[in-house]
Every structure is written in structure tokens, then in C-alpha cells.
Amino acid sequence: MRTKFIGAILLCVSPAFAQQQKENPLDAIRAALANRDFDHAVELTRAALRMSPNNARLWTFQGLAFAGEGDNSNALVSFKYALKIDPDNVGALAGAAQSAYATNKSAEAVPLLNRLLRLRPDEPTAHAMLAVLEYRLGNCGAATAHFEKAGEVLRSQFDGLNAFGMCLVKLKKLDQAESVFGQALRLRPEDRRERHLLASLEIMTRKPQNALATLKPLVDDADPSADTLQLASAAYEDLGDTPKAVETLRQALLRDPLNVSLYLDFANISFSHESFQVGIDVINEGLRLQPKSADLYLARGVLYVQLAQYDKAEADFEKAQELDPAQSLGAAAEGLAAVEENDLDHALATVQAKLKQNPNDPMLLYLQARVLTEKGADSGTPEFQLAFESAERAIKLRPTLAAAREVLAKLDMETGQYKEAADQCRKALASDPQDQTALYRLIQALRKMGDKEEIPALLKRLASLREEATKEEREKYRYRLIEEGEPAKP
Amino acid sequence: MSETNAKSVCAPRFLTVATTPVKHAKDMKLSKVVPPMKYTRRAFVLYGMGAAACWSARRLAAQGVATHRAKPLARPAPSGRPFNAQFADVAADAGLQDPVIYGGVESKKYILEATGCGCAFLDFDNDGWMDIFLLSGTRLEGSPPGTTNRLYKNNRDGTFSDVTGKAGLHREGWACGVCIGDYNNDGFDDIFCTYFGQNVLYRNNGDGTFTDVTKSAGLLNDQPRWGAGCSFLDYNRDGHLDLFVSNYVRFSFEHAPVPGENINCNWKGIPVECGPRGLPMGRHSLYRNNSDGTFTDVSHQAGIAKSETYGMTVVGADFDEDGWPDIYVASDSTPSLLFMNNHDGTFREEGVVRGVALSDDGMEQAGMGVGVGDYDLDGHLDLFKTHFADDANGLYRNDGKGYFDDMTRSSRVGVETRYVCWGAGITDLDNDGYPDLFMVTGNVYPEVERKLPHYANKTPRAVFRNLGNRTFEELVEVAGPGVAAPHCSRGCAFGDFDNDGDVDILIVNLNEPPSLLRNDVSEKGNWIKVRLEGVKSNRTAIGARILVHYGAGTQAQAVVSQSSFYSCNDPRLHFGLGASTAVDIDVYWPSGLHEVFKRISANQLVTLREGVGRVKNRGWSKA
């Protein structure tokens, strides 16, 4: 990207042009630049500037010369002099932006590029640079707009494509991201990590068959890595081929038996297929090798809950928290286990005890709101108020906590705050467009508000979500995992 | 957890990536943003937690019935008020001693054995005393001797005589629902029974006998179907009763999976009979009465056939008070349906937007039974729908335009989630003027209690006493031994079999004799019963809506031919009045006629004939 941009600026100093204009002092500088004799060009500009210190073009040439030497700091100084004299000097602007970009001075580069784009709105390199800078600042919305205007400049830029793709993922434009990462992979087909990334995206966009095709070169390798096999297993599972998913994950475990995440994936498949005991057995094996893994205890606890073995679940959640006190998940899970056992008082006590230690944990605050709501706190009571405040705080601490928004929407509905409820539902849907609860509550809130215009479309969307979910479920539960020796049918 | 959007418990596994905020450029490095192992692990934990606590909105189908769950609300302190109704099971003394055979006792192989059947109070001989019709199933290995549906004639002395054979009603098979109505307007109530296989229409001959007219009425199926709920209703207001039938699942023994065979055949990890999930849904049917003793299937042209659910109990009533009957179908593990009458022979299904299809969090529930009544005395018909264990039953308040609010939480009905609930009603059990709720319960998986004792097969009934402030208080033992006794019950019907001015309850218990709960109300409140006779409207006046105005408010009731679970109540509408000694009555007849009756004294049965006014009661006094 850098070369192209510099090249664009230097178009006006091509050798032919320099040859023709050699008598003029500026022409000598142009010629030196065109011949990439940057040291000489620097000398010539210094001499010329002593004679004409307010000549913006000379400062620009000097900047170009420094940049050609790779001295971006001095180049930036020279370009800035040029811009003081002639603020709209396109060459100086481009050079300054390039130098600031190259020296990671994003704060300086962004306004320079914006000024340049005001003068040259279609300048693809400027768009590309600005896109990357915006991306580095985490402004994916702005970055994406510029990436899209960068056009051909981006096509050969692996890092740029990566940045573009990442932004698209963040903006949930997964299909477009998949295409961009595909382009990046074509630039570096040997890049294993890039291949994993594309496969992940293909699974996210529900194209497990494509993911398997992407992973094929790695899977066909004589010794595929556990990571590759793990991803392939996920694709097989999403494809509905559970036997292949299990077999592939088993191969991954053979290659990397200490990898906790592989046991968790196995438990995940067991969970999905209601084969809870098989999941527990696999986790037990993982715990034999990784006895200090809080995650494994946590996962086993979740599986015990499914089998209504609450004592064992609670013991596992306690152990998980003992092993990893920093994470609140164990505490939350313990509370959830109590909820599952219909012991809401215990659940609330557990969550509130953990909240004393971590008063600003949004998950625990959400749980407190949820349990109080489940207990049926009536509007106007202190419990209701606490539930409301807890949900609000949880959202404030983590605006993406859609579940807390759902609680808040429910409480708003109960107090007749339909507009507020609708707002929360819309925000929850922004986080998870497949959230049936938020969608249903939005329909009810709009109905209450008498705002019926949008309802037919929302009803269709809800019906479609339900249909999709039913279809998914049908596919998902085709298999049940059994351990060798266990009869297929009871 | 703190780095994760908790909503991802509901999201597909990989969505976590897409929803993880990226705040800094360094975060965009591949290894940090998309470590497949990492998010897979995290998603599992969240996903598992979500399911563990029913935390998420995501629908799981990891069992045969809807997995929607609700936590029991905290129980408020007892009100301390005496409950003036006491229920004792007098079935044995009344002569109801034959068991209702229905599938296996210790375990069930197929869902067909589990859903059970309904019952009816009807006055088949027009003597003014409620007779009893009890449906029956059979067994996979064949019916034990004596298995049949049974008709019991009321002997007017607290006992009944089995007149099944004499009436010509002996029948074996998998009966499900019953609805009563005078489809030929000849002055005698007829019986329609749904079956797995072939439904049956019995015409009442008026001489104590019935004739199976299914074939001549044009109601034969071309292939076996699983008829479930049914209701007579006059959807086109031509004065002749039409017929709606819900169909549960498309079932055949040849293709049905067996316990444990797939994921829909497990419950809490225990292999159980499969379904309804995993089985094809039933298509519901509407039959138009041709006014000549025959019916025509108009399901498609009426817009009924396009909504497929696991349909169960059917209630036909005018919910939006436009004078035309609507149809509510409680549906198992699928959205319940509310068909709104378009006044032109067609219906539009609007259950979701009207708030009676799904739980308050938008999830499907295992809808079984439906009570219909007016619990808050605002003059509009509310609904009470029963659900599966670990979920609350739903109480829906009607705004008078057919839009409903889910009042399960605020009414405190949600304190109870332990039982699989079936037959139900909204009726004033203690005559205090405030309609109460009643429900019967019983598991569908008898084998589960051996591993999980807290999911017992036989469980008690429950009364939710109306406290008069739009909240209820659950009563079990204090409502009498008939309520507290555990049974595996299904249908129940409400009626006054001993004509003593209260509401008694007939209950189907699977593989046991039925229960007949005699209500003995102490410190009697006042009451009134209203019997309607249609003239321009269908003779049974099904679809009529009555408003009774008294001290506590205005109570709406409707004449329906099925409610509770697959059952039919006493057609004489009962209103407890508390201290009120007189009432005003509005009658909205199905024909559109509106009649008002002023200052009717309490504590009597009033028979009102359309366009005529008060007429002499049939029966009533024991003399």
C-alpha cells in the first residue's frame, strides 16, 4: 500500500519528465527523485530551500526524498512545512499522511487523510490507509466504509484484507467477511491460521460443507493438528454428521490429550445429544490428566445438573471456583444449579454472597435481577426495585448483556412502561437477532402501545425463527452418543 | 464469563465471536479474536448453563415435550381465610367403580397410552339431573374385560346406574375427547367422541338410546387419525351446530419410535415414550353442519387446515365479543391457536399477537387443558391453560377485544410448577362470588418416579381460591380429601350432580375408577344457575355469552361444548354470588339477539328460552 501511494505521488517526477526539465533547479531535484537518488535529492532540496524557504513544492520534494530514504520522521517534518505554506498541497498531504501512517502516528495521519480525501474523494490508497487507521482505533464502521472504497488497492494487501474481514465480523456482516477472508487466503494459501479463520467463519455462516473444503488441505496432511481436527469436528457436527464429528474429535484428543478444550467440545456434543453421562465420562478422563482445570469441573457440573444430580453439580461448581476464583462463572453456575433445583432462595443467597465479593460483576447482577424476577417480585416492592436496579446496572456495566435487557423489558412490561420495554427488546435483538423472547415481547409491547404497523412483519419473523429452530433441532438431535458396549436402545 | 455476552447462551455456538466487542486494534489479531477452541469451550459452558437453568430463550427439543420451564413463584403467607368448599370423593358410593382403562400402568411404550381422555356431565334424558359420560382407552395387549366408555344415569339420590349397554354406547378403543351438543336441534343432547382411529358421532334418539351416525353424517375418515379435542359451535350462525376437531399427532404403531430410541424419547435422561415432538403434527378439522344431519369438511376453505399443531382441548367462544364464535386450541409443545371468526365462514389465526399462543417469554408450552371464565369480574372471558411439570399454568386476562395479558405471575398462579396438569376450570367453588381455579394432575411417565421420586405418577388436585383482588391462593389439603388425594388424572368436568346449588367435579383417573368430588359448601354464599334454550340459535345455545351483574361485579360465562381437558361441563352455567340476593342478566344469543333479565332472585335455576324469556325448569327438585 505504501509503495503504491508513494508511487502515485511521484508520478509527476518520472525520469522522462526530469530529463525534459533538467535546466530548472526544481528539475534537478525531480530527476534525482525519479532516479531514486534520494540522498542527492535531499542535498539539492536543502540548497534550494536556503534560497527559497517558502517554496512549498521544495519542502514536498524534500519530504519525498526523506521518505525515499526511509526517514519518515524527517519526511513528516518536511511535509508539514510544505503544508504550512500551502495547506491544500495534495502531494504534501499525501506524503505527510503516508509518513504519519508509517510511523504509527495515527492521530496525525487520520486528519491528514481526511483532508486529502476532501480534495481527492476517490483516492483509493488514502481510503485504504484511513481504513486501516480507523480499524486500529477500533472504529470498524468507519473503517469498513473506507475499505470498500479502497477497491483494487486492497486486493493484494493481506493485512488490509485481514483488517477488513475482522471489521466485517465485528459488524456481523459474516457473509461479506467470509468473502474477504477467502481473498486473503488466496494470497497466502499456506497460512494455516488464515485457513482456520475462514473455516470458522464458514461454520458461523452455517456452511459447514465449505468449512470442510477449506480445511481439507490441513486435514489431509499426514499429521493434522489437533486444532484443525477440532474445527473439522465442529463442521461435521453442524453438518449433522455426529459420528464423524466424534471420530474427528477423538483423533484430536489422541494428538493432544492435555488439551482441555477438546474434552469440553466432546462434552458439548454429548450435551447437545442429551448423552449427559457420556459427557461426564469424557470429562472425567480429562480431569485425570488435567486435575486443576476449573473449566472441566464447571462443564461436568453443568452435565450433572441435566441429570438432576444437584449435589454433585454444586460440588463441581465450588471446585471450579476454588481453582479459579477470578472468574465468576462458577459462582453463577452454582446459583443456576439452585435455580434448576427450584430453590430460588438458595439461588439468591448464593448470588448475593458472590456479589459481596464482586459487586460490579454484570453477570452476577443480572442473575440477581433474574432470580428476583423469577421469585415473582411485585411491582412497587423493594425486591422489584432491586431487580430493576440490578438489571440496569448489569446493562450499564455491559451493554451487550442481552439477557439483562430481557429482564428489564419484562419488568418494564409489568409496570406498563411499554416504550421502554420495546427499546430494550430492540437492543437485545441487535445483540442476537434470533432472540425469540425479545421478539415476542417487542410484539406485545407494540400491541400495548397501539403501534400495530410493525407487528405483521415481526410475527412473520417470529414464525420464521421458530421454523428455523425446529428444523435445526430436528437435525441436531438425530444422534445420541453411547459408549462402546452400551446397547443402542434401552 | 465477565468477557462474554450472556445472551450467547441462547445463540449458536460460533455467534460468540461475532458479538465479542473488539475495542483495540491489537484485539484484531487472529489469535485473539478467533481462537476456535476457546470460544467453543466457552459456548458450551454458557449453553449448558442456559439449559441447566432454563435461562435462555433458546428452545431446546431435547425431550418429547416442550422444554419451557418456569420457576415457582415465592408463595405468599397464607391468607388465613376459611375456604367454605370441601370436596370428598364419593365415586365409589355413587356407583362409579369401574376403572378407566388407559395404556400401561407401570410404564408407557407409546404416547397414545399417556394422554388419556375426558368425561362429560350431560342430561341425556332431559330429566334435569346431570348424567355422566366417561371415556375409556384400551391397552396395547388388548382391552381387559368390561373396558368401554360408560354412560351413567343419575338416580337423583346421589348414585348412578350404568346404562352403557342399554344406551348402545359400548365401545372399546383409544377414546380421547368428548363434546356434547344437540347437532340436529331435536331437543336431545348428542355426543361426539374423538378417537385415535375414527371419531364417533352418537345421535341421541330421545328414548335413552343412541345411534352411531358417524358414517351417515359424513364424518368417516379416509384414514386413521388421532382426534383429540372437539367442540360443537355454530361458526356461521345458521342455527345449526358445526364441529371443530383438533388432531394431536399423526401416529401409527408401525412407525412410532419406542422409549429411548431418539432424543424425543427421553425425559431428564430417562427413556420414556416418545413425543409429541418428533412426530408429525395433526391437522385440525372444521365440519360444517349441512342442516340435514350431515357435515361437510370445510377445513381448507375456512382457513383452519393451514395451522398444524399438536392440538388438544378445543374451546369455542366469542372472545372478542363481536357476536361470532372464535376457537381456541390448546396445543402441546407448539403454539396454541386462536382462530378469530371473520364472519364470512373463514377464520384467521392470531394466537401469538393476541397473547395466548406462547409463554410470556415467547416460548412454546405443553398446552393441555383450558378453563374459560371471568376470574376478575370485568365481564370478559378469560382463559386458564394447563401445562407440563416444571412449568406454570397460564392465566390470561381478556381485555374484551380478544387480546389477552398473561397474568400468571401477578395472579400468583405461578406458585405451582410441580405437576403435569390437565383438566381445569374457572368456576366459583365456594359461592363467594369470585370464580376460583381448579386443576387435576398426573404424570405421563409412570416409570420416572422410580428414578426421580419427586416426579410422582399420581399427584394431587389443586384449588386456586380467588382472593377477590385478582390473586389466587393455592389450596390442596384444606379443600378436602378429594382434592388432596393423589391420582393420575386427565379430564375433569364441572357440574352440580346433586342439584344442591354448588359445583361438583367429575375426574378421569387413568387405570383407576373415576373420582366424583362432591362439593359441600358450608356457610353458603348465594348462587344462581342459568340454563339456556336456543330457538333461532342452536337449541343447546352453544356460543351464548351471559353477563351476570351482582354486588362483586359483572361475571361473564359462555356456553361451550368442551373445555377443561377433552371434557364437557354441566350446561347450566353456575354463578356464585356471595352476599348478593338478586342479579341482572344479559344474554347474548348466538343468533345475535341480546336479552336482559332484571332482578332475578338468587339460589335458583333459571331456564331462559331465546326470545321467550323464563320458562319452567326441567327437573331440579328432588321431589
Q: Which amino acid is at A274?
A: E
Distance (Å, whole) CA A271 – CA A303:
7
Q: Chain A 409-448, CB below 8 Å of chain B: which residues?
A: 410, 414, 428, 431-432, 434-441, 443-444, 447
Span of A86-95, A434-443, B117-126 with lowest mean pLDDT: A86-95
d(CA B531, nearest CA chain A) in Å: 37
Q: How many residues does chain B have?
A: 623
CB atoms near residue B271 (< 10 Å): 18
Q: How far is CA A392 from CA A359, A408, A441, B604, in A?
A: 14, 7, 18, 56
Q: CA-nearest residue of chain B to A329?
A: B1
Q: Residue B205 pLDDT > 70, yes or no? A: yes
Nearest to B189 by CA among B289, B119, B120: B120
Q: How far apart are CA B393 and CA A50, in angstroms?
A: 91
d(CA A439, CA B99): 47
Question: Contact at 8 Å (CB) between B425 and B492?
Answer: yes
C-alpha cell at B548: 351476570
Report the distance separating Cα A315 and Cα A43, nearest Å: 77
More confident residue, A157 or A448: A448
Q: Is the peptide bond before B446 cis (omega within 30 degrees of 0)?
A: no
DSSP, collapsed to helix, strand or coil, labels residue B600 as strand
Chain A residues with CB inside 8 Å of B45's CB? 264, 295, 298-299, 302, 329, 333
Determine what percent of chain A is predicted with pLDDT higher than 90.
37
C-alpha grid cell for residue B181?
351438543
Q: Which band of pLDDT confidence, cut at 50, 70 and 90, is reported for residue B69?
A: confident
CB A402 within 8 A of CB A395: no
Closest CA to B52 of B107, B95, B9, B22: B9
Helix segments in B254-343, DSSP class H: none
CA distances from A261 to A193, A283, A306, B8, B36 (A): 18, 10, 20, 18, 9
Which of B52, B74, B358 minimises the CB distance to A340? B52
Between β-strands B526-533 and B515-521, what pairing exists: parallel, antiparallel or unpaired?
A: unpaired
B residues 350-369 lying closer than 8 A (beta carbon) to A: 352-353, 355, 358, 360-364
**Spatial contact of A443 and B352, defined as CB atoms under 8 Å apart:** yes
Shortest CA gap A79–chain B (Å): 27
**pLDDT of amino acid A337:** 64
DSSP B434: S
Residue B495 has pLDDT above 70, yes or no: yes
Q: Which residues of B touch A441 (CB under 8 A)?
A: 361-362
Interacting residues of B549 by C-beta distance below 8 A, sequence separation 6+: B583, B584, B585, B586
Chain B partners of A273 at a C-beta cutoff of 8 Å?
Answer: 263
Q: How far apart are the CA of A245 and the nearest CA of chain B, in angstroms?
A: 14
pLDDT at A109: 87
pLDDT at A490 over 50: no
Window A:19-58, CB contacts with B under 8 Å? none
A300 pLDDT above the threshold of 60: yes
Residue with the three cell numbers 358450608: B522
**ipTM score of the complex?**
0.86
Q: Does the beta carbon of B306 lie under 8 angstroms from any beta carbon of chain A?
A: no
Q: Does B32 touch chain A (CB under 8 A)?
A: no
Residue B1: per-residue pLDDT: 27
DSSP reduced 3-state for B155: coil
Q: Which fold has domain A337-483?
A: 1.25.40
Say whether A361 and B37 touch across the interface (CB within 8 A): no
A62 touching B (Cβ < 8 Å): no
Stretch among A96-105, B238-247, B308-317, B565-574 having the lowest mean pLDDT: A96-105
pLDDT digits (tens, 9 = 90+) for A35-63: 889 999 999 999 999 988 999 999 999 99
Residues of B numbered 1-20 whose beta carbons fall under 8 angstroms of chain A's beta carbons: which are they?
A: 1-2, 5-15, 17-19
- Give mean pLDDT, residues A148-164: 85
Every domain of chain A with CATH number 1.25.40.10 lies at 2-181, 190-256, 337-483
* Lowest-confidence pick of A163-172, A224-233, B88-97, B533-542: A163-172
| Among A159-173, B25-39, B271-285, the least confident range | B25-39
Amino acid letter for position B241: L
Above 70 in pLDDT, residue B48?
A: no
**Any A CB within 8 A of B82 CB:** no
Task: Classify residue B6 by its DSSP letter.
Answer: G
Nearest to B385 by CA among B402, B407, B361: B407
Q: At what angle do helices A158-170 and A174-187 cross, to 10 degrees?
A: 160
8 Å CB contact between B334 and B364: yes
Gap from B24 CA to chain A (nearest CA, Å): 5
Question: What is the CATH superfamily name and number for domain A190-256?
Answer: Tetratricopeptide repeat domain (1.25.40.10)
Out of A276, A428, A478, closest to residue B269 by CB: A276
What pLDDT is stored for residue B37 in this prediction?
26
**How far B215 CA lies from chain A's nearest CA (Å)?**
37
Q: Give the pLDDT confidence of B497-527 residue by residue, as tens digits.
A: 999 999 999 999 999 999 999 999 997 799 9
Q: Does A110 touch chain B (CB under 8 A)?
A: no
Sort out which chain B residues have CB atoms less than 8 A from A329's CB and list them: 1, 45, 49
Of A196, A337, A441, the CB nearest to B36: A196
Closest by CA to B563, choosing from B369, B295, B311, B337, is B369
Nearest-5° angle of CA B75, CA B78, CA B81? Answer: 145
Question: Looking at the complex, does the CB of residue B451 fall below 8 Å from at least one CB of chain A?
Answer: no
Q: Tell me the mean pLDDT in the region B531-544.
A: 98
**Cβ neighbours for A169, distance < 8 A, ≥ 6 positions apart:** A177, A201, B17, B18, B33, B34
Predicted confidence at residue B488, as pLDDT, reads 98
For residues A203 and A235, the answer to whether their CB atoms sit within 8 Å is yes
Is residue A233's pLDDT more than 60?
A: yes
Spatial contact of A310 and A323, defined as CB atoms under 8 Å apart? no
Segment B109-131, tens digit of pLDDT:
999 999 999 999 999 999 999 99
What is the rounded CA–CA span in Å between residue B532 and residue B538?
Answer: 10
Q: Is the pLDDT reported for residue B9 higher than 70? A: no
The lowest-confidence range among A83-92, A471-480, B386-395, B590-599 is A471-480
pLDDT exceeds cutoff 50 at B50: no
For residue A295, the chain B residues in CB contact (below 8 A) are: 41, 45
Q: Is residue B45 classed as helix, strand or coil in its secondary structure?
A: helix
Catalogue the long-range contacts made by A9-15 (C-beta closer than 8 Å, 24 or more residues apart).
A9/A64, A9/A91, A9/A94, A9/A95, A9/A98, A10/A34, A10/A64, A12/A91, A13/A61, A13/A64
Share of chain B above pLDDT 70, in %: 89
β-pairing verdict for B604-609 and B526-533: parallel
Task: Measure A167 CA to nearest chain B CA, in Å.
Answer: 8
Most confident of A111-115, A394-398, B41-45, B423-427: B423-427
Burial-class residue B249 by CB neighbours within 10 Å (0-12, 13-18, 19+).
Answer: buried
pLDDT-derived band at B198 (thresholds 50, 70, 90) equals: very high
The DSSP element (H or E) to which B105 belongs, if any, is none
Answer whether 0.80 is exceeded by the pTM.
no
Amino acid at A411: L
* Cα first-last separation, chain B: 75
β-pairing verdict for B326-331 and B337-341: antiparallel
Averaged confidence pLDDT in chain A: 85
> What amino acid occupies position B550?
Y
Model pLDDT, residue A478:
54
Asked if pLDDT for residue B20 goes beyond 80, the answer is no
Task: Give the residue among B16, B12, B64 at the shortest CA–CA distance from B366.
Answer: B64
Interstrand relation of B382-385 and B462-466 (parallel, antiparallel or unpaired): unpaired
Q: Residue A291: is its pLDDT beyond 80?
A: yes
Name the average pLDDT for chain B: 89
Distance CA A377, CA B32 (A): 41
354-393 in chain A: CB under 8 A from chain B: 361-363, 366, 370, 374-376, 378
Which residue from B44, B414, B415 is facing A268, i.e. has the nearest CB? B44
At A137, the pLDDT band (50, 70, 90 cuts) reads confident
Residues recorded for chain A: 490
How many Cβ contacts (< 8 angstroms) between chains A and B? 267
Topology at the third CATH level for domain A2-181: 1.25.40
Asked if residues B557 and B588 have their Cβ atoms less than 8 Å apart, the reply is no
Which of residues 326 through 345 in chain B touch A, CB cutoff 8 A?
335
